[in-house]
Chains A and B, each alone.
Chain A
Amino acid sequence: MSKSSSSVTLGIIFGNWATLVGVGILVVFLVLSALAAWPVTYHLIARYSPDALNFGSSNAPPSLAHLFGTDAEGRDIFARVIAALPIDIVIPFEVVGASVGIGFLLGTFAGYLGGWVEELVLRVADLFFAFPSVVLALTISAILGATDEGLRVVFTELALIVVGWPFYTRLARAQVISLKQMPFVRAAEASGLGKLRIIRMHVIPHLASVVAVYATLDMGTTLLLYSVFAFFGLGVAPPTPELGRMVYDGLTALPGNWWWSFFPGLILMILALGFSLAGEGLRDVFDPRLRGQR
């Protein structure tokens, strides 16, 4: 049984070229960012230091020497893009991970326990859901980060988590409510298993696949959202390169030196596309109802 279902899974993943492309993009970028975090290999890939100023070759258009061109200070854009990858990839993982953790926990218990716990959690989630989340997060981050440049990225992540968790709470709760009606959970209850044990053994494994789908899709959205924060200077502190911020910096050079903003933006897009394609592929695997309906 499990053997045939896993071969079905593989069949879907490899039968669908879009999923394959998505997974491929993610693998390439994850490897690149892992290597980029390691100085030795970093210099092999990027060939230039991200911070090396070289006014002799400033504002150079894309060429073989400088794949993505250089900025006003002669820094190699390609090197800076590679250097920015670890941060831009880690942040969605942190933000979505924390949102999933909080939402999963609250939603599972709210759904399973019901009563006033559920009511309270849902109302609070609704409240957060109704806010214009991005503007709220931007404001939070700006207010708290106004005084300390180094803390801005932390506040930005916190802000993104604050607006991110309600979705997972609702998702987990809805799933638990429907799981509660399932015969195997009923049977577990009838056999006198404790609530915590039922949640751990029966509810969480079922929830995990659904949450994985949405978390992957959300990762792409969070990446783009974070890039907007970085665009407005609410990301990591300046000397560290950052894709969203590079786009903003490059705007000053328009219309001439378009490559300065364009390539960091393009890389963001490809990365977001990878998350979105991989997430849709996962959805096909875990949610057969939607298979082929996209």
Chain B
Amino acid sequence: MGLATYVARRALFSFFVIIGELLIIFYLTNIAAPDPAVIWAGPESTKAQVALVAQMYHLNSPWYVQFYYYMVNVFSGNWGISPLYQQPVISLIEEYLPVTLELTIIAFVFKIGLEMTLGVVSAMRPNGAVDNLIKVTYTTVRSAPPFLVALGLLLLFSYGTHTFPSSQPIDPILGATVPKFQFYNPIAGKVTGFWLVDNMPILNALLVGDWAAFSSAVSHAVLPVVTLILFGFGGIVRLVKVSMLEVLDQDYVRTARAKGLRENVVIFRHALRNSLLPAFTLIGLVFAGLVTGSLVVETIYGYYGLGYYVAESLLTFDTPSLIGTLILITVVIILSNLVVDIGYGFLDPRTRVGY
């Protein structure tokens, strides 16, 4: 009933967001920029290269012609060639995206789980010792710039105690020898790999059953994951706590208590779901935050993923790479927001009518 309309509305909005962003980028690169061809070719390029690029991207044509080719290129996956790597942007993304996706998803799951738990715990005894400890911790941690946390962990656990390695997603020797996961692809009709899976170091090692590679990949991921968890830590803790306290005051919680339910049943069955609902609206932002954090985290830990790639592109003004990754990140985040919105619709029956 209402759910289909709701989903359709959210999807339509997401589509407009992507179009809007493409317009902004187009405006910036092709119209506002003083010399668009230099931007696309890279600041280090020669005159001949710039001329070639201007021709390639139709930069000497009127803006609507440029816009036409720009949109055609975006939607056909022709995202230009990186002046830094001298490779098509799309193939660089294919290589780097899965690494970061794996890292952020792991961090995301742990972060959400940890923050929600702490939020519920602090709501149990507001202003008690545990609550105050949690409060002090997250107030301090969230004030730390991401590179400081990364740096501190690196100094302590990598250079200090040598517990975890200091760079790369996996030991390079193991990384080179671990086979790629293969499976029978019914569409292609043959046994193939899949770029999304075989560029994820942990998942690939797990799927091919290479335990040495698996443990290497895991130990390389520990510090980046912890840093990402601590990046912007506490937002969900506070939200869950406040909404849990609000929910515990609600009439239906009193009803549940009046029914004679045990306190933990009251909390877990009646209060928890309602108090976590507001936090779900933040999930999209958390994911976006993790992607942002991955730029810094991957740079400091030398973890070769999308964040590292974006950071390199920023430092060298590699515009085609920047734009390609920006479009990609936008799409990923908007899709995740869409998933969250739809999930919210399922979790809270009231929204299905409201929209």
Contacts and interface: CB of A to CB of B under 8 A. Distances in A.
Contact of A232 (B151, B155, B300, B314): B314
Given A247-B147, A254-B154, A147 B38 contact: yes
Contact of A142 (B142, B145, B319): B319
B238 A233 contact: no
Contacts of A139: 25, 322-323, 326
A93 B333 CA distance: 29
A293 B242 contact: yes
A293 B151 contact: no
A199 interface: no
A254 B159 contact: yes
B83 to A, nearest CB: 11
A273 B17 contact: no
Interface residues of A, number: 50
B20 interface: yes
B145 A131 contact: no
Interface string A261-294: 1100110111011001100100000000010111
Interface residues on B, range: 35 or more
A272 B319 contact: no
Contact of A143 (B29, B288, B295): B29
A132 B291 contact: yes
Chain B contact residues, majority secondary structure:
helix
Interface in A105-153: 126-127, 130-136, 138-140, 142-147
Contact of B292 (A132, A142, A143, A290): A132
A147 B29 contact: no
B337 interface: yes
B38 A276 contact: no
Max chain B CB contacts within 10 Å: which of A126, A142, A220, A290? A142
Nearest to A274: B143
Interface string B9-45: 0000110110011001100110011110011000100
Interface of B: 13-14, 16-17, 20-21, 24-25, 28-29, 32-35, 38-39, 43, 126-127, 135, 139-140, 142-148, 151-152, 154-155, 158-159, 166, 238, 241-242, 245, 288, 291-292, 295-296, 299-300, 310-311, 313-315, 317, 319, 322-323, 325-326, 329-330, 333-334, 337
